[in-house]
A and B are shown apart, each in its own frame.
Chain A
Amino acid sequence: MTAPTIVSVADVSKRFTLHRHKSLKERIVNRGTEKAHREDFWALRDISLEIPSGSTVGLVGHNGSGKSTLLKVIGGIIEPSSGTVKRRGRMAALLELGAGFHPDLTGRENVYLNAAILGLTQKEIDRYFDAIVNFSGIEAFIDTQVKFYSSGMYVRLAFAVAVHVNPDLLLVDEVLAVGDEPFQAKCMDKIEEFQREGRTIVVVSHSAAQVARLCDRVVVMNHGQMIFDGQPADGLHVLRFGYDEQRRIDALGEELALGSGSQNPARITDLSIVSEQPADKKSIASGDDMAISFSYELTKSHPPLVAEISIETPEGEPIYRLSTVDMTAQIPNTAGQHVVDFAFSRVPLGIGEYSLRGNLETRDGISLDRSVSSSPFSVTGKVPSTGYLTMDVEVATRSDLLNSAG
């Protein structure tokens, strides 16, 4: 069965009005010019989003792109100016850890208070209390006032409360990177447990690695608009390479859809590993040779061109980049179909998933086309190892035996 929708956002816009004059006197004195001194700022513009139950959605974007506002609108903290948000199931919002903590109260009192704020009843808190304290790992200080806590202890306790609330929908804003490394690992494990239990998570994060690890869907926000909604790798790519690019690609897509004559004069038609395998299941063995073909189409003659390819991790992090200009290779720039073959011998990639991206640009660096969707491939190997590299290695042992009598 398909997962039911848990959050439904329809045509939501949010307008903030910025007043230059705050005090009553200023407002009265400048009443005539009030209009001129008022600025409308659209934090969200016509956002529509359906989130199915059990999915993990990452909201990414630069500062001020509206992602936190969107999260707050879903959480009911800010009312949208227009549009509707519908939601069901129990929700917990981790918008700021320890928002309800009172410095003068003890850890125990704060656990009860904060859990009540997140919607637990007395009985439920009693039941989870030991688990919460256990998870936070600060048993010894639970009856100390929290103002004496270190910041690490503070957030650990707050996080521990938040994850024991048993929500169907969890909203998380930039709070997963708390505590020391072992505690972060604990948090991540807990989040992954949530995912396996079919809870829905909406997370705002600036960490590409976190989003790539946790999310099965990414929504990219820019200036209050949703500019991308789809696979994490593609979304992070859009985020990294800027929005102008995305807009250009969108425009291109529209042109193609319209079938107009003004087709892009330079287009990457294919970028993939040369093999007989189906397009989505390409794989090579670590240490083997690999050939990559870069096909492009020109509808007219161009100034000298450069083809660039990069190999990326699933997080969209480029680990290898190569351009024909570096190899002082010329690629054809006359009208027609062309293919550039890159042949790599003894590929030193480590076991794992990778993807390919291509870029076609002029010698002056003006990008003519970028491959929009990545071409994934996997690398397999006999010797299990982690990391992006594989190296030939032999293991031998040497020992000096101790004299047993000595």
Chain B
Amino acid sequence: MESTTLERQHKQEREHHIAELEFIDVGRKPGFFRGTSSSIADIWHFRELLGRLVRREVKARYKDSSLGIVWSLFRPLVQLLIYFFAIGKILGAAKSVPDYAIFVFIGLSVWTLYAETITGSTISILNNSGLIKKVYLPREIFPLASIGSALVNFGVQLVVLLLGILFLSHFRVSWELLLAPAAFITILTFGTAVGLLLSALNVYLRDVQHFVEIYLIVFFWVSPIVYPITAVQNALHGNWLEQIYLANPVTMAVVAMQKALWASGSTGSIQQSWPDNLELRLLIVFLASVLLLWISQRVFSRLQGNFAQEL
């Protein structure tokens, strides 16, 4: 008998509690501008889940393999070896680029982060269609989780890179080291912006994921990863084509990262030239990326309403 009175009491408490709550509109589209804060609050509310999803992606990827996360290192290391021998030694690029291995690995790390961000988030919505069709979550979570797992890989690579610099080269202690985190934040912002947009578009037009593959191949060679920016400057002599070339946020991030970490580029026997006003350009690219991120989040939240039925 006591338990029933307790239950009744619970029931009344619940009724009172619910009667006091405000109604929330389900699925109503807020305005283009006003929705931003509610979207952010929504994602913030699920931050714990975000962490779990990242862990799930990382764990599941290397589950049952005995080497585990070490595998995430092999790809860039093999790439490094190939570029080092094929382009550095055979084509002779290493002659004009001091510490060529470190130079390439810096560029590769930044590029891998960007490429994994984009490819991972583009297919993230499709890969999680089971969840999206059945449970309501802020859908931004899924691209963000794949970006998170790209960040984990980047972290591992960064450790190797820093160790490599420490043993094979040296750090140039100056304020230019600060360019490294700035470049990281810029590439992350830009990658997130593009990834969010593409993940939403890919739901409606599956061609996007194939387009991304091509885009990444082309832009790998368009970015100064295996060749130094000096070569570009020597070829273009600062004309309008070079300005367009430098407007690519990935290029800016790669160059800034190189300037910060590749000591022999600035002090070595073969002097490298850096683009003028690198810091200002990076800042502009960063601000543009933030703007793009905001726009693509708004587009994402517009498109996500029909995700469940399109998947």
- A interface residue numbers (CB < 8 A to B): 1, 3-4, 6, 8, 16, 23-24, 53-54, 72-80, 84-89, 93, 95-96, 99-100, 102, 104-105, 109, 112-113, 116-118, 121-122, 145, 168, 196-199
Contacts and interface: CB of A to CB of B under 8 A. Distances in A.
Contacts of A3: 15
Contacts of B207: 23-24
Contacts of B132: 77
Contact of A8 (B11, B21, B23, B53): B23
B89 interface: no
A104 B63 contact: yes
Given A79-B305, A104-B59, A197-B7, A53 B14 contact: yes
B135 A77 contact: yes
Given A53-B15, A86-B24, 11 more contacts: A75-B135, A75-B136, A76-B27, A84-B28, A113-B49, A113-B56, A116-B46, A116-B52, A117-B49, A168-B18, A199-B14
Nearest to B20: A4
12 contacts: A76-B26, A77-B135, A79-B27, A80-B27, A85-B27, A88-B21, A93-B135, A95-B133, A99-B134, A102-B56, A113-B53, A168-B14
B134 to A, nearest CB: 4
Given A104-B63, A196-B11, A87 B26 contact: yes
A118 to B, nearest CB: 7
B25 A73 contact: no
B205 interface: yes
Contacts of A96: 130, 134
A53 B23 CA distance: 13
B308 A77 contact: yes
Given A105-B59, A198-B10, A77 B52 contact: no
Interface of B: 4, 7, 10-12, 14-15, 17-19, 21-29, 46, 48-49, 52-53, 56, 59-60, 63-64, 130-137, 205, 207, 305-306, 308-309
Q: Which of B14, B53, B64 has the most CB of A within 10 A?
A: B14
Q: Which 4 A-B pairs have the closest CB atoms?
A: A198-B11, A79-B305, A4-B19, A79-B27
A83 to B, nearest CB: 10
Interface SS majority for chain A: loop
A87 B23 contact: yes
Contacts of A79: 27, 29, 305-306
Nearest to A116: B49
A266 to B, nearest CB: 46
B14 A73 contact: no
Given A104-B60, A116-B48, A88 B131 contact: no
B12 A88 contact: no
A79 B29 CA distance: 9
Contact of A6 (B18, B46, B52): B18
A86 B135 CA distance: 17
B18 A4 contact: yes
A84 B135 contact: no
B27 A78 contact: yes
Nearest to A14: B309
Contacts of A80: 27
B133 A77 contact: yes
Contacts of A117: 49, 131, 135, 137
Contact of A197 (B11, B22, B24): B11
Contacts of B7: 196-197
A89 B18 contact: yes
Contact of B15 (A8, A95, A122, A198): A198
Contacts of B49: 113, 116-117
A107 to B, nearest CB: 14
B135 A78 contact: no
Given A76-B136, A105-B59, A99 B21 contact: no
Contacts of B134: 77, 93, 95-96, 99
Contacts of B15: 1, 3-4, 53-54, 198
A52 B308 CA distance: 27
Contact of A198 (B14, B52, B309): B14
Given A4-B19, A78-B308, A196-B11, A109 B59 contact: yes
B59 A54 contact: no
Contacts of A86: 23-26
B24 A88 contact: yes
B23 A88 contact: yes
Contacts of A85: 25-27
Given A105-B56, A109-B59, A198-B10, A122 B26 contact: no
B52 A113 contact: yes
A325 B116 CA distance: 77
Contacts of B305: 78-79
Given A4-B18, A6-B18, A75-B136, A100 B131 contact: yes
B304 to A, nearest CB: 9
B6 to A, nearest CB: 10
B190 to A, nearest CB: 26
Contacts of B135: 75, 77, 93, 95, 99-100, 117-118
Q: Which of A16, A23, A89 has the most CB of B within 10 A?
A: A89
A84 B25 contact: yes
B118 to A, nearest CB: 20
A77 B56 contact: no
Q: Which of A72, A77, A80 has the most CB of B within 10 A?
A: A77
A95 B11 CA distance: 25
Contacts of B25: 84-86
Q: Which of A16, A53, A100 has the most CB of B within 10 A?
A: A100
Given A4-B15, A96-B134, A117-B135, A73 B60 contact: no
B82 to A, nearest CB: 31
Contact of B12 (A6, A102, A113, A198): A198
A105 B62 CA distance: 11
A4 to B, nearest CB: 4
B52 A112 contact: yes
Contact of A121 (B27, B48, B60): B48
Given A99-B134, A104-B59, A16 B309 contact: yes
B83 to A, nearest CB: 33
B49 to A, nearest CB: 4
